[in-house]
Amino acid sequence: MPARAQAPSDSIQLKTLKGGMISYGSAARKNPVILVCFWSVNNESSINELNAISAQYERWKQRATFTLMAICVDEGNLVNRMRPMANQNGWTFDVYADISGDLQRALSFSSAPQSMVLNKGLVVYQQAGFTAGTENYLFNKVLALAPAPSKR
């Protein structure tokens, strides 16, 4: 469903895979086009979505300049399973945790998987849930906005 929501503020902090903290804003400034995938270690659909994306991620990066942020919405002890899950599945994209739930509240959704395409800080598309093949639909949304990588 299309959306036009304002992006969250720089004050929102995300936990990195290595345990450090980074502001959402500094992570999001890498590219104007961002694919954000919210997931949970206990949600098979969200893991399946990220694995489907992971299988095509390197090919996608050759076609479009964008940032992919996989953001775990788990809290408490569950967040400790984020890093092993990412490593076990071989995810090479950026993985974070929204340990305080601030980003989830700012973007107004309640359950994972939830994916959003942001362009220049605005949510331009979002979808809830995952079925096989919807990762391609997400990428087509990204591809329509993101420039091709420069050849050096």
Decide if 100 is inside a domain: yes
Question: Which residue did the predictor score with more confidence, 7 or 26?
Answer: 26
Q: What's the total number of domains in the chain? A: 1
The model's pLDDT over 19-69, given as tens digits with 9 standing for 90+, comes to 899 998 887 777 889 999 999 999 999 999 999 999 999 999 999 999 999
What is the pLDDT at residue 4? 44
User: Has residue 2 got a pLDDT over 60?
Assistant: no
Decide if 29 is inside a domain: yes
CATH code at position 117: 3.40.30.10
Distance CA 150, CA 8 (A): 29
What is the pLDDT at residue 8? 57
Instruction: Evaluate if pTM is beyond 0.95.
Output: no
The whole domain housing 50 covers 2-145
What is the pLDDT at residue 125? 93
Decide if 8 is inside a domain: yes
Q: Where are the alpha helices (DSSP H) in 19-131?
A: 24-28, 44-63, 82-89, 102-106
